[in-house]
Amino acid sequence: MYLHREGFATILIASIVLIGINYLSDKFIPYALIKSILVILSLAVFVIILQFFRNPSRQLTQDASAIIAPADGKVVVIEKVFEKEFLNAECMQISIFMSPFNVHVNRNPVSGIVKYFKYHKGKYLVAWHPKSSELNERTTTVIETENGDKILFRQIAGALARRICWYVKEGQPVKQAQEMGFIKFGSRVDVFVPLNATINVKIGEKTSGGQTIIAKLK
């Protein structure tokens, strides 16, 4: 396991702030108990930040007929919807909620060519809100597979998230389970798959990004 590069600046700033707080408390607060509490709280905050930016090594799934979970988290939506931004067709939406305690690396669900990418500014509704997919800050990525299937997925900022990172662009070839981005703090990823795909997950099921098969293509 190692720390993701998106966390380096945050960890550095947090370290400086926490060290500063404890330095000032040691210098100006005469009560040993309060100093001890601040040290314990500082360590707890630092550990929470470290675990958020962890990027564990894992055996990634490679399967041309499968759609892989792009994120760690819990499946909160499986429903038939009309996707109007790019696909303009009915499809199945699978949504994965990422809590602040999940790994927040995002991965490509399939291999292929990035046919469409767009960043949308937006609101910061809680990630499980039904309208967060349309109103929140988000990115939309569409990958076309070798067989011509188009898989659309969105990185969606949650109430705590204020920054979405991505490493893809239109026309770029990408590999399944390869890192495509990162969302800082609580968030959600929506995946839109063809109606004839076989759904492999259930509501409430936990997913592992780059490993869990969430659907199978025909």
Report CA-CA distances (Å) from 8 to 4, 14, 156, 168. Answer: 7, 10, 22, 21
Active site residue ranges: 187
Place of tokens 């702030």: 17
Taking each helix axis from N to C end, the angle separating 32-52 and 8-28, rounded to the nearest 10 degrees, works out to 180
Q: In what order do the strands lie in the sheet with 164-166?
A: 105-107, 179-183, 164-166
